A and B are shown apart, each in its own frame.
Chain A
Amino acid sequence: MISLRDLTVRYGDTVAVDGLTTDLEPGKIYGLLGRNGSGKTSLLSVLAAYRKAAGGSVTVNGVDPFENPQAMRDTVFVRDAPDVPQADRVGKVLGFFARLRPRWDAAYADHLADTFGLDRRKRVSALSRGQRSALGVVIGLATRAPLTILDEAYLGMDAVARSVFQRELLADYLAHPRTIILSTHLIQEVADLFEEVLILDRGRLIVQEDTDTFRSRGVAVTGPEEAVETFVSGRTVLARQSLGGVRQATLYGSLDDDEQRRAGSAGLTLEPVGIQDLFVHLTSAERTPEAVR
């Protein structure tokens, strides 16, 4: 169990994570979403003991992970650029992690390296952006750490490699269940992997829900302008779009059966809203975190 209480991360006068409180149950895949600068990497850095929090507390299985040998051994944090010497060859990098990571699965690492087409003789500096990300993914998955954190880990990968990554992540998670936190901007692509979604905005947690519930919260109401406005009156409207006399309003909040029937009889069409669209609306510049919560 990961517990964060009033967690704050600062860089000088800038507050990256602002009094965040939440609990994350073990054995789930979490999607951590947020715009650039929303505090995702800062939060993950604290969880992985890469950084000390400025305030509040963080515990992983009851202990503060910072400088805790067991907690650090049980956590792997893969950032957009893997933390390995650029001059080292891929084979040497994998060998290094194999010696230091107690749960390292060498056969699986080999399988992943082959799948991503990583040449073990190549130096890290000679790898393309996508290949470097692939190396990070190999490290992240083959470590088999009970807490696996992947922060934009597949940046620069081509569509095929990203698809392989998603397939391998899911298969390995099912074979070796653990807590995985996946931070990404490619929301639509990986949304189906998430069991729970966390959205950070300007350092604050504005959404934490299981993915299906979150998905059901977004409804697009389309129909004649007046009917739409009447229907959405008093509800949280995330966005409005109009074309001629037709209007579409994106609502935040699920509709019960009665409300759905009322919409139908008013000539309105109801459609689900994708996680990415919900995310865009919830974290738009004009919307404050307080307004969402």
Chain B
Amino acid sequence: MKTMVLTSFLRMYRPQMLWFAGFLVVGVGLADAVVARFTDPPFSLWMFIAGSAVKYWLGVVGVTLVAVHLRQFVAAGITRRDFIVGGLLFGVVLAVAAALLVPVGHGFEDALRGGAGGVPADYPRWSVPVAVSEFGHVLPSCLAYLVAGAAAGAGFYRFGAWGGLPLLIPALVPVAAAEGLLGLGDNGEVLTRLVPYGIALAVSLLATVLGVVLYHRELRHAAIRSGPVG
């Protein structure tokens, strides 16, 4: 049933995924073209916009998992456990897709700007190792935002507005860890703060796993409320 939950989510979100990626590519592409007409910025517009947008979107998806879909799946005979696991598997697929989109888009931007007569020295040039590094930075952030959104949404769903409020603090720990240790520099290049990348990755993933534990504990005995969904 977990696989059915995963495939149902993929089917449900496929149009959204395509629209989101399309808007991002077209929007940033147009913005890049407009900016390039007037100046030759030493930063990557794509990395700033796409690098942030994908993780915020994952956060929103995390919130909607429970608010919109929990009742729907339980009404279709799915256990909370299968919903949690299937939903998180879907989140991982989505996060990987989003984390792939960022370096791929950066590659296109680099090619377009480089092709237009070179780029300023400070522009974060694209290469395969850079792309791998970008993927390695964006993926844990996307996972952190997704899980934080899901845990925050589940807290409010289960305990109401006041009860869910204090749970925001532990729910946002994955985001705090990812944002604190993995981020973007002044020109849109990925960077690791305070500790080496390996440790930053481990801490971020550990915080995300703790977020998953919180999410599970909030939902495992949650009553299915009535009222409009979505």
Contacts and interface: CB of A to CB of B under 8 A. Distances in A.
A173 to B, nearest CB: 20
Contacts of B71: 83
Interface residues of B, number: 28
Given A72-B77, A97-B76, A100-B78, A81 B228 contact: yes
A189 B7 CA distance: 42
Contact of B221 (A45, A52, A69): A52
Interface in A136-166: 139, 145
A80 B228 CA distance: 11
Contacts of A100: 4, 8, 73, 76-78
B229 A83 contact: yes
Contacts of B1: 69, 73
A178 interface: no
Contact of B224 (A50, A97, A125): A50
Nearest to B80: A67
A99 B77 contact: no
Interface in B63-97: 68-69, 71-82
A73 B77 contact: yes
A86 B77 contact: no
B198 interface: no
Chain A: number of interface residues, binned into ranges:
20 to 34
If over half of A's interface residues share one DSSP class (helix, strand or loop), that class is named, otherwise mixed; here it is loop
A101 interface: yes
Nearest to B69: A85
A86 B224 contact: no
Contacts, number: 75
Contact of B75 (A68, A80, A83): A83
Given A73-B77, A77-B75, A83 B224 contact: yes
A88 B12 CA distance: 10
Interface string A75-105: 1110111111111100000001101110000
B223 A84 contact: no
B223 A81 contact: no
B227 interface: yes
A69 B3 CA distance: 14
A51 interface: yes
Interface in B177-230: 220-221, 223-224, 226-230
Contacts of A73: 1, 77
Interface string A44-60: 01000111100000000
Nearest 7 CB-CB pairs, A to B? A85-B230, A83-B75, A100-B76, A50-B224, A83-B71, A51-B223, A73-B77
Interface of A: 45, 49-52, 67-69, 72-77, 79-88, 96-97, 99-101, 125, 139, 145
